[in-house]
Chains A and B, each alone.
Chain A
Amino acid sequence: MKIMNCPLNGPRNISEFTCFGPVHDAVDAQSASDAAWCHYLFYQENKAGIIREWWRHTPSNYYFIAERHTVTDEIIATYSASELSRIENKS
C-alpha cells in the first residue's frame, strides 16, 4: 500500500486519491491563439524528475498539490493549492 499525505486528512491509502495531471498555466480564453490553446490542452509536463501535480482526496473532494518524482515514484511534498500562488510569486 502506498501512502499519500493529504494536507486536509493526513496520511491515507493512495487508492483514495485521484491524480489530475501536472499544474500548468491557464490561457486567456479571450485572446489565446490556436497554438496557445493547443499547447494548453495537449502538451503537458513529462519530465523525468520532480513534477507538480493536482490531486484530489476523492471521499472528501479536496483538491491539493503534490510534488512527485516521476522516476523514483516518491511523493516529495503535498500542500494546499493556496500555497501554489505563494510559490509562484516567489519564483
Chain B
Amino acid sequence: MQPIISISNLSKTYASGHRALKDVSLDIKAGEILALLGPNGAGKTTLISIICGIVNPTSGSVRVSGYDIISDYRKTRSMIGLVPQELTLGAFETVWNTLCFSRGLFGKKPDSAYLEQLLKDLSLWEKKDSELMALSGGMKRRVLIGKALSHQPSVLFLDEPTAGVDVNLRKDMWKIVRHLRETGVTIILTTHYIEEAEEIADRVAVINNGELLLVDNKDTLMHKLGKRQLVIELEKPVTAIPAALSAWKLDLSTDGYFLSYTYDPLKAQTGIAELLQALSKAKLLLRDVNTSQSSLEEIFINLVNTK
C-alpha cells in the first residue's frame, strides 16, 4: 500500500547554520499511530513544521498521498491537521469562533453539526462561548486539538500533546487518539514519554540530533523489551567461549570475565538450568550471576548516546 506520507532525504539547515534535520527518510502508513521519540532539540518539531508548510526544507522532499508538499500544497495541507507544541491561541475569541475560523481557513464550508459533535467529544461543549483566555491550560490544549480536527483532516500531527497535562487528561487524550485512529485518521505524535509511545503507538521512530535512528513496530520493540540478559561473572577470565557452550550463543566481554546470555523469559524453556550445568561441566567457576531487563527506555538511551 502507498504510504500516506513519504519523506525522502529531508534536510534542514536553519539560517543560524544549525543542521536540525540530516537526510531523514521515513514512510508513514495510512491509519497508523506513529510516535516520534527524541530528546529536546532532536528535530521533531522541525520535521513536523516542514510537512505542514511552516518551515521550508533545505533539501529533500515530502509527499502526502502522493502529492508534493510544495507544488501541491493546497491538496496536502487540506489533508493535515496540526496541534502545535506551544499553547498558541488568541485571547478574546470564543471557543466556537476559533473553531469556525480554523475550519474556514482550511477551505471547508461551515458545518455547525460537525463542530458541535467535535466539541462534545472533546468535553468542551459547555465552554463554547467562553473566551480563550478564560480557559485552563488543559482546556486550551483540547481547543487546539479541536481546531486541528475542525476541517476533518486525514492526517493529524500532535506535537507533544501531553506535555504539562495531568494524568486524567492524558488518559483522555489517548482515548481521543485511539478513537480517531478507528475513524481512519493517521496520527503522528511526538513525545518525550516512552510510556506514551508504548501505550498508544503502532510504530515508534527515534530521532536524535536531526538523524532518524530507528523506526520499528512497537511490538518488535516490546519484544526486545521482553528480553532478559543473564550475566555470568567468572573467577578466572577465558580467552574464548568453550565449544561446549556454543548452543547458547553467548557473548564474551573483552576482558574475558563476563559471559552474557540473552533469553526470552516468557518461553517454557529458558535454557538457564542447562547452561549452568554445561558451565560446571566445562569446569568454569562462577563468581556471580546477574539478570537484567532491557526497557524501551534503555534501548532509547543507548541509541541516543551512542550516536
Are A and B part of the same complex? no
- B-contacting residues of A (Cβ < 8 Å)? none
- A-contacting residues of B (Cβ < 8 Å)? none
